[in-house]
Amino acid sequence: MNMFVRTVAAGIALAAAAAGVAVAQDYRLNPTYGTINLSAGFLPDPQVMPLQSGGQIDAQRVSSSCRGFIANAPDVRLNYSAGSYPLIISVNSNSDTTLVVNGPDGSWYCDDDGGVQGLNPSLRFGSPASGQYDIWVGTYGNASLQPAQLHISEVNSQ
């Protein structure tokens, strides 16, 4: 097989793999726990939403840097109007949780244990974009659902 044919075949395989990732999590679905609309300077800070972490889908299907098991639909949708503050999305749980966020730019952001309480995740957007943030809270290691709290803040992570 010549180099051109191999290159085209590799490109087709890569496109097929990317298409598989695109259907793994569907940000077009209604979020399971609702939508939050916030503008910079929101109060109270943090906004806290109770939910169940986890799902049946391995988060590594989104990106090799993601961990845990998540649902197909987002858990929460955040519509955010940015200002001069950072945006911090974190989870507080007694279980080992993970975080997957699809940002307004279409990029995927993931964290496992970056929060302040050991096995909890946290993502900090230093100069956040305005727009839609679709948020999945995962359970590390298995697909079981676990009680958790999603925290959205401009000052502290949980």
Q: Does residue 44 have a cis peptide bond before it, meaning omega lies within 30 degrees of 0?
A: yes
What architecture does CATH give domain 3-153?
A: Sandwich (2.60)
Which run of H or of E encompasses 22?
helix 3-24
Q: What is the pLDDT of residue 23?
A: 43
The structure's pTM equals 0.83
Please give the backbone phi and psi of residue 94, each rounded to the nearest 5 degrees, phi first.
-80, -10
Which two three-digit tokens encode residue 98?
A: 């993970």
DSSP structural state of residue 122: E
Strand partners, 135: 76, 101
Instruction: Please choose, from the candidates 25, 30, 13, 101, the residue with its C-alpha nearest in 3D space to the C-alpha of residue 58.
Output: 25
Cβ–Cβ under 8 Å, residues 151 and 136? no
Q: What is the pLDDT of residue 7?
A: 36
* Positions in the chain short of pLDDT 50: 1-23
Q: What is the pLDDT of residue 10?
A: 38
Q: What is the pLDDT of residue 59?
A: 95
Domain boundaries, the chain: 3-153
